[in-house]
């Protein structure tokens, strides 16, 4: 089945919003996981694991923030 030419921008926008929302949701979930596990590992004294989870949390926070900023730039540039 082909999409009519007039509906192509709408389908593209809906698909982009879905994928962007999915990426932000997964990234923010990883932020929560990283921060929670970092605190758990820090309390138990496992410094290596705590560092790894802290790194995961920070990188996921940067990914979530970057995705939101990228989306805002795309919206305001059109």
The pLDDT confidence band at residue 1, using thresholds 50, 70 and 90, is low
Domain range list for the chain: 29-78
Handedness of CA 76, 67, 25, 47 (dihedral sign): negative
Cα 7 from chain centroid (whole Å): 28
Question: How do residues 2-36 score in pLDDT, each as one tens digit?
Answer: 667 778 788 888 888 899 899 999 999 999 999 99
User: Distances in Å between the alpha carbon of 26 and those of 33, 43, 46, 60?
Assistant: 10, 26, 26, 9
């Amino acid at each position: 089945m082909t999409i009519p030419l007039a509906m192509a921008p709408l389908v593209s926008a809906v698909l982009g919003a879905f994928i962007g929302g999915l990426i932000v949701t997964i990234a923010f979930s990883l932020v929560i996981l990283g921060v929670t596990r970092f605190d758990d590992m820090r309390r138990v004294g496992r410094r290596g694991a705590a560092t790894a989870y802290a790194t995961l949390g920070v990188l996921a926070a940067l990914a979530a923030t970057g995705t939101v900023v990228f989306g805002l730039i795309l919206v305001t540039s059109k």
